[in-house]
Amino acid sequence: MGDHKNPGFQNPRSVIKKVLARPQHEGDGAIVRRSIGRGELRNLDPFLMLDEFSVSAPAGFPDHPHRGFETVTYMLEGAFTHQDFAGHKGTVRAGDLQWMTAGRGIIHSEMPAGEGENKGLQLWINLSSKDKMMEPRYQELQGKDVSRVEKHGVDVRIIAGESFGVRSPVYTQTPTMYLDFTLHPGAEVHQHIPPPWNSFVYIIEGEGVFGDPNASPTTRHHALVLSPGDGLSVWNRAARPLRFVLIGGQPLNEPIVQYGPFVMNAQAEIQQAIDDYHYCKNGFEKAKNWKSQPHMN
């Protein structure tokens, strides 16, 4: 459910934590603003990381592995090209989405493909122990195929889950909702969130009032962690558009052991991942003699 007027929540969610995502270095010369995954907010089960990136060539994220989780790349401006060790390639442009379930192993490069700054969000979603070693899988959606609802000054792109009665075709291995809202000046929205799920908001532009109508407005580059509850209300009382993503997921409630891009349940499984990567086995077979092609920047 999403609604432009009637909250009708039994237990509205409020903001319990606010985190400013400051710029930091990542990859090869790239700058990211990390909200989830930084010291103040190590993770928010099932979410491991949210980076807002803004990258121009020759910086980028050259060949690196992943195991045990999903990465969701959603472009806001410009484009990013990816290549993996199985020969899978593509370019994600503004509005497009790449939902990559790394499972037992992916090695890939992610490099800017547009002129100037290439901006987007990358979210890492943990996989349950039973899914960590699954075969890798991609779900790719062009912006024109992302479901969108425009109503009463609210414009929502449905990356995952459902809003205003419209559902995303993306299959979420770990149950997840991911909504990209733009609220025009004066607009408000009341969005249902499954009560047992953890959820947060990340503000992309403008300023908005979240949860409590008397709260002071929050501006871009901030993540807001939400309390338990059945929905979130948001008001744009400013003179410019407000854009934010609302992300929620079913907690896995499993131990998390992370070593960079390997996320498992136990230290021994991390050691296994390091060995598998090193010896090109158990999912990393195709790493043997593979290197990404030079990018045309």
Q: Pick out the residues of the known binding site for Fe cation.
A: 64, 66, 108, 110
Report if residue 261 touches ligand FJE, rule: CB under 6 A.
Answer: yes
Nearest to 157 by CA among 240, 72, 244: 244
Report if residue 221 touches ligand FJE, rule: CB under 6 A.
Answer: no
Cβ–Cβ under 8 Å, residues 211 and 12: yes
**Would you list the DSSP string of 244-277?**
EEEEEE-------EEETTEEESSHHHHHHHHHHH
Choice from 14, 18, 26, 128 touching ligand FJE (CB under 6 A): 26
Using the rule CB under 6 A, give the single segment among 3-11, 25-33, 204-212, 265-273 that binds ligand FJE: 25-33
Using the rule CB under 6 A, give the single segment among 26-34, 129-137, 145-153, 178-186 that binds ligand FJE: 26-34
Cβ at position 111, least distance to ligand FJE in Å: 8
Sites for ligand FJE among residues 78-137 (CB under 6 A) = 80, 110, 122
Beta bridge partners of 15: 226
Radius of gyration for the alpha carbons in the chain, expressed in angstroms and rounded: 19
Phi-psi region of 210 (alpha: psi -120 to 50; beta: other; left: phi over 0): beta
Nearest to 129 by CA among 264, 247, 24: 264
Choice from 64, 148, 237, 295 touching ligand FJE (CB under 6 A): 64
Q: Give binding residues as ranges.
A: 64, 66, 108, 110
Binding site for ligand FJE (CB under 6 A): 26-27, 32, 51, 53, 61, 64, 73, 80, 110, 122, 260-261
